[in-house]
Structure 1
Amino acid sequence: MNPKYFVIAVFVLGGAAFAYDKFWPKPENPHSVQTTAGEAGAPLVNVTVPVLSAAGEEGKVLFDGNCGTCHGSNAAGQDGVAPPLVHVIYEPNHHSDMAFVLAAKNGVRAHHWRFGDMPPREGVSDADVAKIVAYVRELQRANGIH
């Protein structure tokens, strides 16, 4: 193949890929379950709360004191504030328990949502995060996220 045609083909395909990504309508994420009408601070998902284990109860107390201000009651997220943790994005196969530990310790650069970066959580130990994760995982399982 003539190198000139190869370069032209690369530019044409690259331009087409850019245009497709930039301008082609994207289907709604089937796992995005926003249930609000855009009311700031409103929960983003409906969460079924199960009967919690002892570890889940401990985790709920820690979650409410350290995470709930942003991630909402029962990890349902808050419109305009922070995402729901009871969401398929945070299933164990995508975000391991260690991802939660690292997020609390180091903060997180925004990458799945448009809420902005999450700052580190001062004063939350790895043991605390483990209990918080136990609570979140119980909520997830009760809501069909495994």
Structure 2
Amino acid sequence: MLNHSKMKIKKSLLLYKNSLYKLIKYGIVGLIGAIVHIILTIFFVEIMDLSPIIGSFLGFIIVLAISFFLNKSWTFRVKGKNTIYFFKYLIVSLTGLVINLIILYSTVNLFNWSYFYGMGISTIFVAISNFVMNQLWTFGEKNKEGG
């Protein structure tokens, strides 16, 4: 009975360590994505003479593809059909965008706070919620076999 409890504790610690390691990798991919998004937006606005909204949107689309492939192959290390994973990843990303906009709207328009506070709260909340949704649903264990 004691050995069984020790094995459960070891398994729990291993899962925690694995999840923490994935969270760090996810954060690195997110940081890379944010930097690339900023660079692309500046490129589209300053060099290509597009509006900031269009430039940022194009940057978002490109970074979405880059971060998807980095997270699929490096963070979560899954194989399978890209189409199914990408569709799920897109849903999670768009859900994060909606959450971001709700938090930003609420902090600015309901609480009369600076949008900097809203962006800070949103960045932390969306990063964590997107990680959890991607780990459990997009790239979850049951998805690793066939995609």
Higher relative contact order structure (alpha carbons within 8 Å, sequence separation ≥ 6): 1
TM-score over 0.5 for the alignment?
A: no
Q: TM-score, normalised by structure 1?
A: 0.32
Q: TM-score, normalised by structure 2?
A: 0.32
Larger Rg computed on CA atoms: 1
